[in-house]
């Protein structure tokens, strides 16, 4: 049975604008039948989202988006695991420690390029959630170091030099997938276009991830062109993988072109 669902959403538990409660309310108002909250490397918002879902009558699937070390922006989405699964709690707890160390490396990286920003402002921007590059971009924008968030990424935070300071700091895609699967969840490859590989190399990568236990590909995503959607659907069919879709909603203030979206999806396989 198909449901109108959005399976890729960020809250204030990572770098989103809205609390988990507010997201459930927005999704309900938008007429969605199901959502998954998928904060970066964090399970902290899941209980609040689940409770809000119960109160408001919306199916809320536990989720997470894990950053892997294999490629910048190779993210694995985890779904439908018990939110108290010890393996995932341990992994995300360690990743939070990693992000706390990473913020000093990012600060030093920016300083080397002549950009001085204060750590307390970055911490404040994250409001207690896991700290990510968008929080740095926000502070840089506020101080006029850049004139748009995009510029912060293009010039500093999404560059090959930035990639260098990240190497070896995150778990492998293999470990992320296996941890999700051991917890009893399902794993999907997030926004495949962001890995920036040609068709053949992407197929090779997805085959390898499928061997680790990957269940699905996020074929539907706001930035995917119709041609890319077809390519990913074809790849999923060829490798016997399921299809997921998500907007990567972070709130209209943070990402105005990623609004909550009703993708028609079959979700039955997630609960088998
Ligand atoms: P992090 O988890 O710290 O690696 O940050 C990942 C987040 O940064 C993504 O979810 C996006 O919100 C944002 N991001 C990554 N690359 C870009 C980019 N090129 N332009 C704008 N935002 C980006
Ligand atoms: Zn994000
Ligand atoms: Fe992502
Ligand atoms: Fe995301």
Q: Is the CB of 108 under 6 A from ligand 1?
A: no
Query: How many percent of the chain have pLDDT more than 90?
Result: 87
pLDDT in tens, 48-103: 999 999 999 999 999 999 999 998 899 999 999 999 999 999 999 999 999 889 99
Q: Rounded to an integer, what distance in angstroms lies between the CA atom of residue 142 and that of residue 17?
A: 16
Confidence (pLDDT) at 129: 77
Average pLDDT over all residues of the chain: 95
| Top mutation candidate among 132, 223, 258 for ligand 1, by most atoms within 8 Å of CB | 132
Confidence (pLDDT) at 180: 98
- Mean pLDDT, residues 211-223 taken together: 98
- Mean pLDDT, residues 10-16 taken together: 95
The order of strands in the sheet holding 34-37 is 242-245, 216-220, 186-189, 75-79, 59-67, 34-37, 2-9, 263-266
pLDDT in tens, 102-154: 999 999 999 999 999 999 999 999 887 788 999 999 999 999 999 999 999 99
pLDDT at 166 over 90: no
pLDDT in tens, 254-269: 888 899 999 999 999 9
Q: Rounded to an integer, what distance in angstroms lies between the CA atom of residue 81 and that of residue 93?
A: 16
Confidence (pLDDT) at 62: 98
Q: Is the CB of 133 under 6 A from ligand 1?
A: yes
- Mean pLDDT, residues 36-45 taken together: 97
Q: Is the CB of 48 under 6 A from ligand 1?
A: no
Query: Does this model's pTM top 0.75?
Result: yes
Higher pLDDT, 191 or 97: 191
Confidence (pLDDT) at 71: 87
Confidence (pLDDT) at 130: 82
DSSP conformation letters of 24-91: HHHHHHTT-SEEEE--BT--TTHHHHHHHHHHHT-EEEEEEEEE-SSSTT-EEEEES--TT-HHHHHH
- Mean pLDDT, residues 203-232 taken together: 98
Q: Is the CB of 40 under 6 A from ligand 1?
A: yes
Confidence (pLDDT) at 83: 94
Q: Are 102 and 119 in contact (CB under 8 A)?
A: no
Higher pLDDT, 9 or 272: 9
Q: Which pLDDT band, with edges at 50, 70 and 90, does 228 fall under?
A: very high
Higher pLDDT, 195 or 240: 240
């Amino acid at each position: 049975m198909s449901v109108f669902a959005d399976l890729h959403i960020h809250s204030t538990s990572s770098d989103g604008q809205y609390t988990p409660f507010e997201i459930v309310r927005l999704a309900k108002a938008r007429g969605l039948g199901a959502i998954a909250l998928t904060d970066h490397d964090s399970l902290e918002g899941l209980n609040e989202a689940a409770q809000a879902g119960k109160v408001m009558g919306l199916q809320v699937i536990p989720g997470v988006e894990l950053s892997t070390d294999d490629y910048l922006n190779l993210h694995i989405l985890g779904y439908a695991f018990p939110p108290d699964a010890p393996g995932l709690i341990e992994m995300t707890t360690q990743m939070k420690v990693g992000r706390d160390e990473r913020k000093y490396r990012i600060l030093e990286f920016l300083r080397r390029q002549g950009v001085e920003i204060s750590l307390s402002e970055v911490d404040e921007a994250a409001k207690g959630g896991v700290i990510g590059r968008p929080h740095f971009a926000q502070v840089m924008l506020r101080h006029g170091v850049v004139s748009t968030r995009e510029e912060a990424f293009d010039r500093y935070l999404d560059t090959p030099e930035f990639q260098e300071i990240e190497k070896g700091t995150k778990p492998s895609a293999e470990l992320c997938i296996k941890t999700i699967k051991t917890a009893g969840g399902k794993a999907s490859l997030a926004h495949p276009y962001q890995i920036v590989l040609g068709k053949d190399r992407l197929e090779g990568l997805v085959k390898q991830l499928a061997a680790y236990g990957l269940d699905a590909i996020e074929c539907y995503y706001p930035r995917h062109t119709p041609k890319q959607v077809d390519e990913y659907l074809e790849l999923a069919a060829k490798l016997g993988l399921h299809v997921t879709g998500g907007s990567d909603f972070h709130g209209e203030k943070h990402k105005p072109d990623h609004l909550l979206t009703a993708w028609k999806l079959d979700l039955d396989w997630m609960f088998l």
